């Protein structure tokens, strides 16, 4: 069991889930957080906002592929755990250019594992046993489901996109470090997150901002692809449960138990915006929906069986999809400055990841 006053090395803590995790931990725990982030297009210091100068938060701009830097961080801060979230995370970008995904998600995870192993091997016995390396991964490693069934921790790996293949590869490496070296690693595979501070290339923030600006709301294919939606704060609580009570070598699936088709998600968002921020002229936002060419290799359905973490670690999501979505829409409406700042000019919400046939 990890001491709740420990120092934790968090990677990717200026990204969507990472920044929510940093805010959540500083508010609800006594951890000191060493936050290592390269600040790619997806990482933004503004997402850390009020906590950037918090006495228990140290931000370091750097790359997980930089082994010397990692070595120094382990030596200087002597973390009790690593929570590894840094990644290239957008499927459409991985179709457009897989190279960065291989570099960060596979090579970067390898470098981090090696630096952690060097540090962990030299720890005194009593600290060795309580060290944890928690790797945050995705349900996309399991491939696609038909209209029935759920992904469990026993499901076969069958990734379809360069993104999910790179995450699958990093999962295998993390698991291998447990089996080969005995390093206490854990893996979580979670479903689609949503909530505050998500870069506006992902479905929910993209649709909110496009709707407000009167732009088209592009739905891939016929909009019937299904995802299981998890509110980001519920995810953060789950990660802390796994860190505190998870068994090394084990995997925990985390899902919101809220399956929705993409068209349902966009329609629900439109109804919420009709209520909270009606269009001038009173026409419904739904009118802005357009159907566009499907994503190549678009998995039909993801759905998580989260019974293991529910039963063993006593976790379940607090938000349902409607309440979480309302909180999310309200956050974006209140933080339009953040949205403007994170879109630095190189990304203007254009479609990525289309292959000419
Ligand atoms: P994100 O893209 O919002 O953030 C990733 C962060 O990692 C950014 O701050 C970026 O600057 C940083 N980063 C990228 N390359 C780096 C490098 N080489 N060195 C250091 N930092 C680097 O991603 P997210 O949505 O917050 O996802 C976090 C993790 O959770 C990822 O590993 C992702 O695969 C996983 N995940 C996300 C979801 C989701 O729905 N968002 C679902 C399942 C799993």
Active-site residue set: 139-140, 163
Residue 357 has pLDDT above 60, yes or no: no
Any ligand 1 atom below 6 A from CB of 262: no
Any ligand 1 atom below 6 A from CB of 63: yes
Best CA proximity match to 199, nearest among 3, 33, 340 = 340
The answer to whether 34 and 7 are in contact (CB under 8 A) is: yes
- Using the mean position of ligand 1's atoms as its centre, give its distance from the Cα of residue 276 in Å: 30
Residue 26 has pLDDT above 60, yes or no: yes
pLDDT tier at 343, thresholds 50, 70, 90: confident
Residue 64 inside a domain? The answer is yes
Residue 281 CA to residue 96 CA, distance in Å, equals 39
Any ligand 1 atom below 6 A from CB of 140: no
Residue 296 has pLDDT above 70, yes or no: yes
Read off the pLDDT of residues 123-160 as tens digits, 9 standing for 90 and up. Answer: 999 999 999 999 999 999 999 998 899 999 999 999 99
Residue 306 inside a domain? The answer is yes
Look at the chain and report how many structural domains it folds into.
1
pLDDT tier at 355, thresholds 50, 70, 90: low
| 9 strand-pairing partners | 34, 82
Residue 142 is given by DSSP the state G
pLDDT value of residue 344: 74
Which parts of the chain fold into alpha helices (H)? 16-28, 67-77, 91-96, 99-101, 109-121, 125-130, 162-181, 203-212, 232-245, 262-276, 307-313, 321-334, 336-342
Read off the pLDDT of residues 85-101 as tens digits, 9 standing for 90 and up. Answer: 999 999 999 999 999 99
pLDDT tier at 25, thresholds 50, 70, 90: very high
pLDDT value of residue 105: 98
Looking at the chain, the whole-number percentage of residues with pLDDT higher than 70 is 96
pLDDT value of residue 317: 96
The answer to whether 100 and 88 are in contact (CB under 8 A) is: yes
pLDDT value of residue 49: 87
Placement of tokens 């469990």 in the chain: 152
Any ligand 1 atom below 6 A from CB of 87: yes
Residue 142 inside a domain? The answer is yes
Where is pLDDT greater, at 116 or 349? 116
pLDDT tier at 2, thresholds 50, 70, 90: low
pLDDT tier at 295, thresholds 50, 70, 90: confident
Residue 342 inside a domain? The answer is no
Residue 112 CA to residue 120 CA, distance in Å, equals 12
- Using the mean position of ligand 1's atoms as its centre, give its distance from the Cα of residue 84 in Å: 9
Best CA proximity match to 351, nearest among 227, 159, 216 = 216
pLDDT value of residue 4: 56
pLDDT value of residue 298: 87
Residue 329 inside a domain? The answer is no
Residue 347 has pLDDT above 70, yes or no: no
Q: Whole-model pTM above 0.85?
A: yes
- Using the mean position of ligand 1's atoms as its centre, give its distance from the Cα of residue 305 in Å: 23
What ligand 1 atom has the least distance to the C-alpha of 198? Answer: 3
- Domain of residue 246 covers 7-198+229-260+300-322
- Using the mean position of ligand 1's atoms as its centre, give its distance from the Cα of residue 16 in Å: 7
Residue 44 CA to residue 40 CA, distance in Å, equals 8
Residue 253 inside a domain? The answer is yes
Q: What is the CATH number of the domain that holds 304?
A: 3.40.50.720
Where is pLDDT greater, at 257 or 357? 257
Q: State the average pLDDT over residues 170-193.
A: 98
Q: State the average pLDDT over residues 225-231.
A: 95
What ligand 1 atom has the least distance to the C-alpha of 89? Answer: 2
The answer to whether 93 and 158 are in contact (CB under 8 A) is: no
- Tokens linked to 171: 């999962």
pLDDT tier at 273, thresholds 50, 70, 90: very high
Residue 236 inside a domain? The answer is yes
Q: State the average pLDDT over residues 154-180.
A: 97
- Tokens linked to 3: 């001491």
Separate counts of helices (H) and strands (E) for the chain:
13, 12
Any ligand 1 atom below 6 A from CB of 353: no
**Residue bearing the CA closest to ligand 1, atom 4:** 15
User: Ligand 1, residues 11, 21, 40, 191: which to mutate, most atoms within 8 A of Cβ?
Assistant: 40
Looking at the chain, the whole-number percentage of residues with pLDDT higher than 90 is 88
Residue 269 inside a domain? The answer is no
């Amino acid at each position: 069991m990890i001491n709740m006053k420990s120092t934790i090395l968090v990677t990717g803590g200026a990204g969507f889930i990472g920044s929510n995790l940093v805010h959540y931990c500083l508010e609800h725990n006594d951890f000191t957080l060493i936050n290592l982030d390269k600040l790619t297009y997806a990482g933004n210091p503004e997402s850390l906002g009020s906590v950037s100068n918090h006495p228990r938060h140290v931000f370091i701009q750097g790359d997980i592929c930089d082994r010397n830097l990692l070595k120094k961080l382990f030596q200087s801060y002597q973390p009790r755990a690593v929570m590894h979230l840094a990644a290239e995370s957008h499927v459409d970008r991985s179709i457009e250019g897989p190279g960065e995904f291989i570099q960060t998600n596979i090579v970067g995870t390898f470098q981090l594992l090696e630096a952690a192993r060097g540090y962990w091997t030299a720890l005194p016995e009593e600290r060795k046993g309580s060290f944890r390396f928690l790797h945050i991964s995705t349900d996309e490693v399991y491939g696609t489901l038909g209209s029935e069934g759920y992904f469990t921790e026993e499901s076969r790996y069958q990734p379809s996109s360069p993104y999910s293949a790179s995450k699958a590869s990093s999962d295998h490496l993390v698991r291998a470090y447990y089996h080969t070296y005995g390093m206490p690693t854990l893996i979580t595979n979670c479903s689609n997150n949503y909530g505050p501070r998500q870069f506006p290339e992902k479905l929910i923030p993209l649709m909110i901002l496009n709707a407000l600006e009167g732009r088209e709301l592009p739905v891939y294919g016929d909009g019937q692809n299904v995802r299981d939606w998890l509110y980001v704060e519920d995810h953060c609580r789950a990660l802390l449960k796994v860190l505190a009570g998870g068994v090394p070598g084990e995997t925990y699936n985390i899902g919101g138990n809220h399956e929705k088709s993409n068209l349902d998600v966009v329609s629900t968002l439109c109804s919420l915006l009709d209520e909270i921020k009606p269009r001038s002229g009173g026409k419904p936002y739904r009118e802005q929906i357009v159907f566009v060419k499907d994503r190549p290799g678009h998995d039909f359905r993801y759905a998580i069986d989260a019974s293991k973490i529910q039963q063993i670690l006593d976790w379940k999501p607090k938000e349902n999809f409607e309440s979480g979505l309302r909180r999310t829409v309200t956050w974006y409406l209140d933080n339009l400055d953040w949205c403007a700042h994170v879109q630095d000019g190189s990304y203007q919400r254009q479609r990525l990841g289309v292959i000419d046939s």
